[in-house]
Amino acid sequence: MSGSDLAVAAVALACFYSLWWCLSLARRLRRIERTSKLDPLTGLGSGDWLHTERWPAALRSGRPLGVAYLDLDHLKLTNDKLGHAVGDQYICTAADALRQAVRRGVDEVFRCHQAGDEFLVLLHGPLGDLNRCAISLLQRLSERGVSASLGLAYSTTTEFVPARAELRERAEAACREAKKQGGGCAVLARHSGEHPPQTQDSATGVIETPAGFLFGQAQRLDASQVPLDRPNQNA
């Protein structure tokens, strides 16, 4: 083999190696990006992704926007009595229920913190009956043996204004109020001076609280009796 042939072979080998290295690097970067966007336990959107990308994008969307903030009930008791593995399964069950409860391709579900039991749902576009929306989320969780406290804040304002930017804080405050009421219920956040909304479920009673209006106090669930979804042993 002549010297020129060796040179051509060396260049081809270098090009092949460079291409392989670039493809490998691209795969690693995609894996890192995917990992940073997803919560490792539940597969939901991560809190970091929410803070850095999805929340700013939601504020700029130009559509009505709702925020549901949920805090699971009984998780500490579940961890203490049944162990952290069962507690993790409780979190995964809640995540799966929320994933199936929202409008696919429209709403987004996030786990706020990797070590926490709090979830946030971005509800994009018109919602209609807010009471029914909140109770529907709680019912879907209850059907899977999960109890949660829920705060819901909603704005039809499409411009980037303080009232819209404060939706997350208002939803979280409403969730804390639901927790104070004993959990297993929803509080609809309100603006100052707002009156209780008239809904199809208002006949069941509306309780005014400092953070908003309390709806649909659900049946309490004892953590020791929670029927958790467990992985199929034969899978």
Q: Looking at residue 211, what is its pLDDT?
A: 52
Q: Hey, what are 194's tokens?
A: 């707002």
Average pLDDT for 127-143: 92
Integer CA distances (angstroms), 7 to 3, 11, 193, 208, 229, in order: 6, 6, 81, 82, 63
Q: Which of 121, 115, 103, 105 lies closest to 44 in space, CA to CA?
A: 121
The three-point CA angle 223-72-154 to 5° equals 150
The span from the first CA to the last CA of the chain, in angstroms, equals 57
Q: Which of 194, 196, 192 lies closest to 208 in space, CA to CA?
A: 196
Is-contact 183 147, C-beta < 8 A?
yes
- Position with higher pLDDT, 193 vs 27: 27
- The single-letter code of the amino acid at 202 is S
What is the tens place of the pLDDT at every residue in 20-59?
Answer: 556 655 455 455 445 569 999 999 999 999 999 999 999 9
Half-sphere exposure of 107 (CA within 13 A, CB side): 21
What is the tens place of the pLDDT at every residue in 53-104?
Answer: 999 999 999 999 999 999 999 898 888 899 989 999 999 999 999 999 999 9
- Position with higher pLDDT, 199 vs 210: 210
Is-contact 98 140, C-beta < 8 A?
yes
What proportion of the chain, given as a percentage, has pLDDT over 70? 68
Lowest mean pLDDT among 16-25, 121-130, 200-209: 200-209
Instruction: Check pLDDT > 90 for residue 172.
Output: yes
Q: How far is CA 119 from the centre of its chain?
A: 4
Q: Which of 205, 107, 116, 97 lies closest to 152 in space, CA to CA?
A: 107
Query: Would you place residue 201 in the very low, low, confident or very high pLDDT band (cuts 50, 70, 90)?
Result: very low
What is the average pLDDT value for the chain, to the nearest integer? 78
Instruction: Check pLDDT > 60 for residue 114.
Output: yes
Average pLDDT for 153-169: 88
Q: Looking at residue 3, what is its pLDDT?
A: 64
- The single-letter code of the amino acid at 63 is R
- The phi, psi pair for 189, rounded to 5°, reads -65, 155
Q: Looking at residue 115, what is its pLDDT?
A: 77
Question: Following DSSP, what letter does each residue of 136-194 receive, concatenated?
Answer: HHHHHHHHTT--EEEEEEEE---S--HHHHTHHHHHHHHHHHHHHTTSS-EEEE--TTP
Average pLDDT for 160-171: 88
Instruction: Check pLDDT > 70 for residue 163.
Output: yes
Q: Looking at residue 219, what is its pLDDT?
A: 35
